[in-house]
Amino acid sequence: MAKTDPKEAKEATDLSHKAFVGIRQMLFHNEIVAGQKVPFKDLAVQMGMSVTPVIQALKFLEFQGLVRREPNKGYFIETLKLDELEGLYKFRRVLELTMLEDTIARLDGAGEAALRAVHQVYLETLKGNLPHQKLIADMNFHLAIARLSGQKIQLDALKNVFDILHLKYKTSLGYVTREQSSELDHGHILAAILARDLPHAKDLLSNHIENSRIHASLNLQQMIDEKAVIQF
């Protein structure tokens, strides 16, 4: 049996990661969208690599639920599904509330400073007009709270939830750009955490995620309804 060259294996892994990051960026910026066939041969040329690492990247995205493979047809970006969107928010709520208790129990001065800093970054993004930055800053605020819990498995699961929400359902997440409601929600959640008031923090976080789910679901339903009746 031929031995695998460690250098070649690393190069192959690096190329697959590069392809994975590249496709994620295209998804996030709507360069490829739900329902679209993925032109992986063109992507390989565009990225300056063979099709093999691109296929490997697509297989991982398929595992995440972002891409599907149809035999003899190729890879497609998964279609938008209302029940999946709502399920993601319900799972996100369970994860964040579960981790919140440990976050407050473990919170120290460094943790307080980290939360204040990430919240300040979020407030700064609200002054601009870059929706993508607001999405990322919103996510980073929630991940910062979760990270302080020390629960790595749950944190990784939460990151994956955000991945699917932002890469697949980003067009239905316009509610996060509503400056006043988001600023107030985040500010109140932060204050409750810093006060070590677990019951109040849980209520605020739960309501915030539930309101997010409602707005995202309504936006997606509207998109689905419009697509069904409007032809151009």
What average pLDDT score do residues 63-67 get?
Answer: 86
| Rg (the chain; Cα; Å) | 20
Given pLDDT bands bounded at 50, 70 and 90, which one contains residue 11? low
Length of the chain: 232
Given pLDDT bands bounded at 50, 70 and 90, which one contains residue 231? low
The two tokens of residue 146 are 């979760």
What average pLDDT score do residues 131-150 get?
Answer: 93
What average pLDDT score do residues 110-135 get?
Answer: 90
Lowest mean pLDDT among 81-90, 106-115, 125-134, 210-219: 125-134
The answer to whether 53 and 15 are in contact (CB under 8 A) is yes
% of the chain beyond a pLDDT of 90:
49
The torsion defined by the Cα of 180, 182, 186 and 188, in degrees rounded to 10, comes to: 50
The answer to whether 16 and 53 are in contact (CB under 8 A) is yes
Kindly report the average pLDDT of the chain as a whole number.
87
- Which amino acid, 221? Q
Supply the pLDDT for residue 25.
86
Highest mean pLDDT, choosing among 25-29, 67-71, 204-208, 221-225? 204-208
Supply the pLDDT for residue 170.
79
Supply the pLDDT for residue 6.
56
Whether the pLDDT of residue 2 is over 90: the answer is: no
The answer to whether 40 and 69 are in contact (CB under 8 A) is no
The two tokens of residue 31 are 């360069």
- Which amino acid, 92? R
What span, in angstroms and rounded, lies between the C-alpha atoms of 102 and 92? Answer: 16
Whether the pLDDT of residue 3 is over 90: the answer is: no
CB atoms within 10 A of CB 115: 21
Task: Work out whether the CA dihedral 61, 62, 65, 71 comes out positive or negative.
Answer: positive
Longest C-alpha distance within the chain, in Å?
64
Supply the pLDDT for residue 99.
98
What span, in angstroms and rounded, lies between the C-alpha atoms of 44 and 37? Answer: 15
- Which amino acid, 151? Q
Lowest mean pLDDT among 11-20, 96-105, 215-224: 11-20
Whether the pLDDT of residue 1 is over 60: the answer is: no
Supply the pLDDT for residue 106.
97
Using a 10 angstrom Cβ sphere, with 0-12 exposed, 13-18 middle and 19 or more buried, the burial of residue 153 is exposed
Residues 170-229: tens digit of each pLDDT: 777 764 445 445 668 999 999 999 999 999 999 999 999 999 899 889 888 888 888 777
What average pLDDT score do residues 145-154 get?
Answer: 97
What span, in angstroms and rounded, lies between the C-alpha atoms of 220 and 54? Answer: 30
Residues 34-46: tens digit of each pLDDT: 888 888 888 889 8
pTM of the model: 0.82
What average pLDDT score do residues 135-152 get?
Answer: 96
What span, in angstroms and rounded, lies between the C-alpha atoms of 83 and 91? Answer: 12
Supply the pLDDT for residue 66.
87
CB atoms within 10 A of CB 19: 26
H/E stretch holding 95 reads: helix 82-106
- Which amino acid, 115? L
